[in-house]
Amino acid sequence: MMSDLPRDLLEERLSRVPVKSLREARFTCKNWKTLSKKRSFTKKHLAQEATSRESEFKVVMVLHCKVYLTSINLRGIHNGFDPSINRQAKLVSLNGYEKRKSNLRYKVLRFVDFAEEEFVEYEIYELKSNSWRVLDVTSDWEVEFYARGVSLKGNTYWFATDKFPEISTNLIHSVYFLLCFNFTSERFGPRLPLPFYPMDVDTVSLSSVREEQLAVLFQRKDNLHMEIWVTTNIEPEEVMWSKLFLAVDMQPLTDFKFGIADASFIIDEEKKVVVVFAKDKDVMYPTRNTAYIIGEDGYYKEVDLGKTTDKIRDPLVCSYVPSSAQIKQGGKRKKKGKLITD
């Protein structure tokens, strides 16, 4: 039992307990309450809290049509400590962002391409001119409606497929690949290869790794095997893939496949884990949003993200990279952050 541990070991354990939980722990045991009031413990606890904050990484999560800055703490997960995911702030206004001169260089791409209906439209919007321009694009590929783009180094990448796949003996032979839109040249690049060969029913999802590389999640429909691959070099016209980052048999863990329109994820290179955001395991009638933390050697944890009010959309996450620029907010100056998404 915890109460039977030597004082130095008990102090070490309790110092890792978050402040919010420590208040509750004090009422659990008289010895813990006494220990938590000692000066030596307070110093150690403050040091642990500082270390814990440094080990957190932040993401932007879209949940129930609201945007949240969210912290993910995986510190100590391989030593018996539980991971934590906490919403820290909610986006309530874009004032102070839209009027900044440095933001006038940004562009927005939108396109609709229905081959069957012969309706094609590609447009780009410039904040500087506050207007839309039509782009001349002829494509033999298509981006499925559920394939979310990921922005990396100023360019956006999608998972795409042939617009007119080959058909033989009543079978459709689709080819899948990466596609990049270069916002500088305002042109789509060539087809970039994936490190695997997915089928129509398999799950493929993209994510960014810091501001440097691209990660892709691939899960097979037939056996639920899941792979995570990370690039070693990624440019609009070239991609190189590293060795497999993570491979896991998901059947004994979840016994279901992440949806083709879902599986938003983030990886932690140091901990060698992936965090996948989805619904709970009740595939037919889910009631909770859930983060699945999956790693090597069978590591698996679930973090409850609360009740879901959206039966269709899963939580969506993207990387958040703080910058050195400062913005004034509520009379104080705070770090400005950058969203890595499309």
Q: What is the mean pLDDT of the chain?
A: 80
pLDDT digits (tens, 9 = 90+) for 159-207: 998 887 776 555 555 788 999 999 999 999 999 999 998 888 899 999 9
- Share of residues in the chain with pLDDT > 70 (%): 71
Average pLDDT over residues 215-228: 92
- What's the one-letter identity of residue 49? E
d(C-alpha 295, C-alpha 291), whole Å:
13
- What pLDDT, on the 0 to 100 scale, is given for residue 91? 85
Q: At residue 78, does pLDDT exceed 50?
A: yes
- What pLDDT, on the 0 to 100 scale, is given for residue 187? 94
Could you tell me the pLDDT band of residue 222, with boundaries at 50, 70 and 90?
confident
- What pLDDT, on the 0 to 100 scale, is given for residue 246? 94
Distances (CA, A) of 305 to 1, 36, 292, 302: 30, 29, 10, 9
Question: Residue 29: phi, psi to the nearest 5?
Answer: -145, 135
List beta partners, residue 292: 276, 302
Q: At residue 322, does pLDDT exceed 80?
A: no
Contacts of 294 (CB under 8 A, 6+ apart): 226, 246, 248, 250, 253, 273, 274, 275, 276, 300
- What pLDDT, on the 0 to 100 scale, is given for residue 294? 95
Average pLDDT over residues 208-218: 90
- What pLDDT, on the 0 to 100 scale, is given for residue 324? 43
Could you tell me the pLDDT band of residue 79, with boundaries at 50, 70 and 90?
confident
Could you tell me the pLDDT band of residue 55, with boundaries at 50, 70 and 90?
low
310 vs 266, more confident: 266
Average pLDDT over residues 103-121: 78
- What pLDDT, on the 0 to 100 scale, is given for residue 16? 60
Q: At residue 99, does pLDDT exceed 70?
A: no
- What pLDDT, on the 0 to 100 scale, is given for residue 310? 83
171 vs 238, more confident: 238
57 vs 150, more confident: 150
- What pLDDT, on the 0 to 100 scale, is given for residue 329? 44
Average pLDDT over residues 263-271: 91
d(C-alpha 55, C-alpha 75), whole Å:
6
d(C-alpha 228, C-alpha 296), whole Å:
12
Lowest mean pLDDT among 152-156, 170-174, 239-243, 248-252: 170-174
Given a contact cutoff of 8 angstroms between Cβ atoms, the answer to whether 204 and 198 are in contact is: yes
